[in-house]
Amino acid sequence: MIDVKAFRSISYGLYLISSSTPERSAGCVVNTFAQVTSEPLQVSVTLNKENHTTQVIRESGRYTAACLAEEASMELIGMFGFQRSHEVDKFEPFIVERDSQGIPYVAEQTLARFSVRVTDSFDLGTHLMFIGLVEEAEVLSSGRPMTYAHYHEVKGGKTPPRASSYIADLEAPASVNDSEKASQAPNEEGKSPSGPTEQRSPRYAWRCTICGHIEELDELPDDYICPICRATKDQFERIELAVG
Ligand code: FE
């Protein structure tokens, strides 16, 4: 038998993996970065073959890994974890530095960074595992590293379907109380501007099927964009809220 819940007992950290060629940069969030030997200092990372970052690492033979701090924002994780590098410049909103080879890394909300030269790769079907030598390592700030458990339990984060640890049965809709509250005020349009405002609680919430963000609103505006992953209205599903 396979109890998929057993996989939730495996501990991971969360890392931003970045790479670049003279033409393009790409980055993503992974939980698969790990040190594998100390002499020499070797690390591994496993990425979905369809990820833009995977293609860029194959071309450049190099990447950086930055360890996310526990306080890292969902905006940063959402940008690198749920956006696509060929559609948006993921690095633009954040403080970005480059290593001696010109490979970018996010230098905010991160604790340490590593520069890796890829020496080997293994085809794992859906994913590629890269083995590499650490050529630079630097502490960027003090603090606690973000764990995958913290991301799920405290931040209410979701696992993208292309992640190596994605298990559909473990990604059931989050309860509203588990998720961070909506970052923008509910749309008041259509309500009477005069008189006492009715403080009626919404009966419905909308859950982003991409990142898990929950918006408590009866109706989602047609032009609504998820503040975390930029998904459009059609990627939200309606949840009925319990009337208290
Ligand atoms: Fe989203």
pLDDT along the chain (244 residues), means of 10: 92 97 95 98 97 97 98 88 84 96 98 98 98 98 94 76 74 39 32 45 84 84 85 88 65
What is the reported pLDDT for 168?
A: 67
Rounded alpha-carbon distances, angstroms, from residue 181 to 35, 117, 170: 36, 41, 22
Dist. CA 68 → ligand 1 center (Å): 20
Q: How far is the centre of ligand 1, averaged over its atoms, from the C-alpha of 69 (Å)?
A: 21
CB 239 within 8 A of CB 214: yes
Rounded to the nearest angstrom, the distance between the alpha carbon of 134 and the centre of ligand 1 is: 34
Q: How high is the pLDDT of residue 143?
A: 96
At 181 the pLDDT is 31
Q: What is residue 174's predicted lDDT score, i.e. its pLDDT?
A: 38
Three-class DSSP category at 170: helix
Instruction: Output the pLDDT for position 199.
Output: 59
End-to-end CA distance of the chain: 40
Distance 48 CA to ligand 1 centre (A): 20
| CA gap 98, 95 in Å, rounded | 10
Ligand 1 mean position to 133 CA, how many Å? 35
Taking the whole predicted model, whether its pTM rises above 0.85 is answered as no
pLDDT at position 171 is: 62
Q: What is the pLDDT of residue 133?
A: 98
For the chain, the farthest-separated pair of C-alpha atoms sits apart, in whole angstroms, at 73
Non-local CB neighbours of 127 within 8 Å, separated by 6+ positions = 46, 47, 48, 49, 164
| pLDDT of the residue at 193 | 37
- Predicted local distance difference test score (pLDDT) of residue 243: 59
Amino acid 96: pLDDT: 98
Q: Give the whole-angstrom CA distance, residue 18 versus residue 91.
A: 10
Let me know: does 19 contact 56? Beta carbons within 8 Å: yes
Closest C-alpha among 195, 192, 179, 191 to residue 227: 179
